Every structure is written in structure tokens, then in C-alpha cells.
Structure 1
Amino acid sequence: MMIAFVRYLSAGLIALMVARASGRRIEVARDDRLGQVARTALVMGAMTALIAALGMVPMAKAVGGFLIAPIVSGLLGILVWREAPTLPRLVGSALSCLGAAILMRPEAGIELGSVFALVGGALLGTYLAATRGARSQTDALSTLAVQSLLGSAMLAPFALAGGLPLLTPALLVGVLLLGSLSAACHFLTVAAYQRADAAQLAPFLYFNLITAMAVGFLWFGETVTPLALLGLVAIALGGMATLVDPMRLRDLAIPRVRAA
């Protein structure tokens, strides 16, 4: 809770400084204030769950469980935005659910870290779907500042319940770096989802898995079991499968048939 709190507090303060330096105002549409609070709660829950998972299971496993977010976002697109439930989406969702089940390995005892990762992924998918619906409400910098500061306020009672950590120069530098990375990531994510559909952006989330496996192995000496790797691959393939557009495939196939 303390890590999540300082992450978003520092990110919010950085966003305010950027806005002040650039002469931009931090604004939230009056008719979107409740929505902003709801989206903030979702992203705070998602990131706090991921941070908890990272302390319990290998990095690749935590990030892999988190990658069910595009599936959740796609399913909510069907239920909420009335998008067509195409066969690729249904097959991809089933494949990712199978991968999540393999990753959790219920027969070997469910790891709490894997549960946190999957819950975080579900919350993030809901957040992405909600952000898509609010793409025209608030600019990305305002969203970053408001969600970071509001989120840190939501987390403060839990983070500060055990008292303040010992403030050292190393801690302050770490907080500054964490806040800067968090601000950049949050800003780019919001800006991307305000400019493109979730289906177009979903593949980029799977770069997280490659990075997590590399960093986990090189920095922390973590390894992934063959069965866990199978589950991660199934989740990724399921997410990629949901991107297949049957109409585009048909359009590509028709010229070939005519040529033949």
C-alpha cells in the first residue's frame, strides 16, 4: 500500500508541475466527475493488486496473470458497448481463461500472488473499457493528475496506518524515479486509449510479458516452469485471437477467389 501510495502521489505532483510549466489547466468535465472517481478506484485497485502479486510470485507470472485485461475489456465491450460477439473473440476468451487456469494450477494449490494478478487484470480490463467510453471527456494530462492525486488519497488511510517509513535520500530518489515512470506510463496509456480502440492497442500489452521474463531472469534470477510458460502463452494467444476481424479476413479472401 505504501509503494502504491508514494507512486501515485509523486506521479500526481509531477503532472501538476508539468501543467504549471506548460501553462495548461487541470480540468475535469462536470458531467464526468463521478466517472473519474470510479475509474480512479479501478486503476488503483488494479495496480495495488499487481504490486502485491510482484512480491509473492515471479515477475513473469504476476504480469502474465495481469494480461487478462484485454480479454475483460473485450468482453465488456460486448456486454456494455454492444459490440458483436465474434467467433475469434469467443475463442480467444476461452483460450485465455484456459491459460489463466493453467497459470494458477488449482490442483497444486492456488498461489495468492496469482490470484492478486488475475484480480488486478480484471480491474484493469474494466478500467480500460471505462476509459474508452470516456475518451472525449478529459485530456490525458488532466486525467493523469486527477487520477494520481485522487488515487493517492484513496490509498492514504491504508498506507499510513502503519506509520511513515524512514525518509532517507535513497528513498526519496526511488520515489522520484518511480513517480516519473508511473506518470509517463499512466499518461501514455490514457492518451493511447483516448485515440484508438482497445482492440488495436491490446497487442502492445503483451510486450509486458517479454520484458517481465527478461528482467525477472537477468535481475532477480527468476525462472518460469514449463507449465507456467504454457499458461502465459495461452493467455497471450487468446488475447491476440480476439483481434482477428472476420470481415477483414473475408475482404482479403474475396480478391483471391476472384483471381483464381
Structure 2
Amino acid sequence: MPPPPASPATRQILAGVLLLVVSMWALSGLDASGKYLMGEDIGVTLFVVCLVRYGVHVTLTMLTIIPIRGWKALRCSRPQAQTARGLSMLAATMLFFTTLHYLPLGQATAINFLAPLIVLSIAPWALKEPPFLSRWVAAGVGLLGVLVVVRPGSGLDLTGTLFGLLTACALASQYIASRRVAVDDPYTTLIWSGAVGSVVMTLALPVYWQDIVALFGRLSVFEWLVLMGTGFWGCLGHFLQIQAYRRAPASLLAPFVYFQIVSAAALGWLIWGQFPDLVSWLGIAIVCASGITIGFIEWRRNGAARAGVPQDA
């Protein structure tokens, strides 16, 4: 007998998982493109990469969203929070591209996953949520995993490690701001994400104008495509995430976010021959296990809260 066909709800969830995994590859493509462009062989500066990354992002979102939803898609209920989110996102991008100048893609991405654990640990103060011991334990275990990745003897650059930790803090700020703009349409937030970064980089244009002029006649067609691709991969990754979370619950998708470490490690190996050693993979596994475990605990806690059951752990 053939198996029964999947229900529409099951197909939606599977589609959400698939979209999220593909978005992880797209965002790793963004990171790999930035690392490639800022390498010594090509030498595109950080400011130029960020200008193109956010300029292409906002152009693509405007061309695809405005024709469908109209100019009302630009209106948001909390412009200050949207601006704060855009600024923290730009800061995280600049810090992470700097990190990638010193560290392999896989290990740098693993450090980033401290960010959601930082958010959970400071939620009582930043989001006025009740304190839970399990969140602080998860953050401590996640930090332990990162320490295993960046341990002495790992060969990782200390400067890159410090920039990686700063990136995690900037991402935590972005996640907190994302909670505050959740009342807006996700596509509105997608537009603002690119618009804020584009405005800031445009205002700073006189500082690095000569860097842009120097690129003309120096970059090959392929390198120009990679540069333009930073905005495409970033926009695509965030767009696919919106689609994923529209089809499946966030609690169900949470474990699959950690597939970005796999995609980052794979691209780092394919492009630069950099692959985390066994001890680094142990640290990465600790970080992932910590995040997935606290995600499961939070899912159960939220379910119990909706049912009116008090929680104290």
C-alpha cells in the first residue's frame, strides 16, 4: 500500500524547514563573499563592501515589495526601533566582516551563535521578562563551547576572536530590537534593514570615495558579480527566513538555524581549504546543544504559560 499523502499542515512545515535551511546557505554565501572580497588578493575595503551590500539589498526589496504592497510597506509603527535595529545590523555586518579577515568562516560563525544565548541571559533587563536559571545556564554552557573553539593552541587569531565576540554582542542587540519591531509587517522590516544601512554608508561616502574610484578598472567581471552578490545573498537570506517563519512555528524551526555552521564550514573548506578540527567541532557541538536545549525548554515554558501553569526554572 502506498503511504498516505502528507497533510497540508505537514507540507507547510516541511516547506518552512527547507526554506530556512536554504536561507542559511544564502547568508553563508553573503559571509563568504565578504571574506573573499576583503582578502589580500582583491583588497576591497570594508566600507565599500557594506555600501554595496546594503545598497543592493534595499534596491531589491523596493523593486519586489513596493509593486505588490504599495508605498504603505514603508510605514512602520516604531521608526526609532526600526532605526536602532538597522544600525545594530550594520554594526554586526561590519564587525563580522572584520572578524572574517582574521578567522575561518566556520569558527567565526560558531561564535555568532552566542548572540541568542546572550539575549536570553539579559532578557530580564532588556525585555522585562522574568528571570530563569535555565537561560543563564544555557548561556554559560554556550560560552564554554565558544571557549573550546577559540582555546589556546587552536591557531585562531586573538584580534579576530575579540571582533567575533563583539559581533555576537551586536547581533544580540539586533535580536532585541527585532522583538520590539515585531508589530510591523516583516516586509517593512526587511526594507528598513537595507535602508538604514544604505543611508549611513551613503552619508559616510566622502570618507571612502577614493576606495570606490580605485576599484574601477581593477576588479574583474567575476569580482564585480561577487561584490553585487553580497546584497543579493543578504536580501535573499532574510526574505527566505520570512517565508519560513510564515509556514512553520519559530520553536520548531529553532534547531535548524544551527545548520548555518554546517554551510559556513562547508564553504570555508571548499573556497579556502579551512575546516574546523575535531576539538573545534566539539566546541561547536556544545554551542549547538546549548541553543537547541534552551530552545526546547522555552517552547515548553511558553506552552505551559498559555495553559496557565506557573514556571520557575
Q: TM-score range by the shorter chain?
A: 0.7 to 0.9
Aligned residue type for 2:230: L
1:118-175 per-residue CA deviation (whole Å, 9 max, x = no partner) reads 21122112211221122113x2222222221220222342772543122654344324
What's the offset of the Cα at 1:62? 0.8
Q: Does 1:37 align with 2:88?
A: no
Counterpart Cα distance in 2 of 1:246 and 1:173: 42
Q: Does 1:163 align with 2:211?
A: yes
Residue of structure 1 aligned with 2:175, choices 109, 119, 128? 128
What runs of 5+ residues in structure 1 fail to find an aligned partner? 252-260
Does the C-alpha gap of structure 1 residues 246 and 24 become closer, same or farther in structure 2, counting only changes over 3 Å?
A: closer
Does the C-alpha gap of structure 1 residues 125 and 81 become closer, same or farther in structure 2, counting only changes over 3 Å?
A: same
CA contact (8 A) 2:258 2:288 kept: yes
Counterpart Cα distance in 2 of 1:116 and 1:195: 35
SS at match of 1:136: coil
Aligned residue type for 1:134: V
Q: Does 1:242 align with 2:301?
A: no
Normalising by the residue count of structure 2, what TM-score does the alignment of the two structures yield? 0.69
What's the offset of the Cα at 1:93? 0.9
What's the offset of the Cα at 1:179? 1.8
Farther off after superposition, 38-47 or 236-245? 236-245
**Which residue of the partner structure matches residue 22 of structure 2?**
none
Counterpart Cα distance in 2 of 1:148 and 1:50: 17
Counterpart Cα distance in 2 of 1:9 and 1:82: 35
1:75-111 per-residue CA deviation (whole Å, 9 max, x = no partner) reads 2333333334334322211101112223333688862
- The alignment's C-alpha RMSD in Å is 3.1
Counterpart Cα distance in 1 of 2:175 and 2:131: 18
Farther off after superposition, 182-191 or 4-13? 182-191
**Which residue of the partner structure matches residue 219 of structure 1?**
271
Normalising by the residue count of structure 1, what TM-score does the alignment of the two structures yield? 0.81
What's the offset of the Cα at 1:5? 1.8
What's the offset of the Cα at 1:224? 1.6
Residue of structure 2 aligned with 1:114, choices 134, 137, 161? 161
What's the offset of the Cα at 1:197? 8.2
Farther off after superposition, 120-129 or 104-113? 104-113
SS at match of 2:275: coil
Counterpart Cα distance in 2 of 1:231 and 1:237: 10
Aligned residue type for 1:123: A
What's the offset of the Cα at 1:59? 0.9
CA contact (8 A) 1:12 1:148 kept: yes
Aligned length: 249
**Which residue of the partner structure matches residue 280 of structure 2?**
228
Farther off after superposition, 12-21 or 199-208? 199-208
1:191-218 per-residue CA deviation (whole Å, 9 max, x = no partner) reads 7679988765542321111111222223
Counterpart Cα distance in 1 of 2:85 and 2:172: 11
Counterpart Cα distance in 1 of 2:246 and 2:122: 17
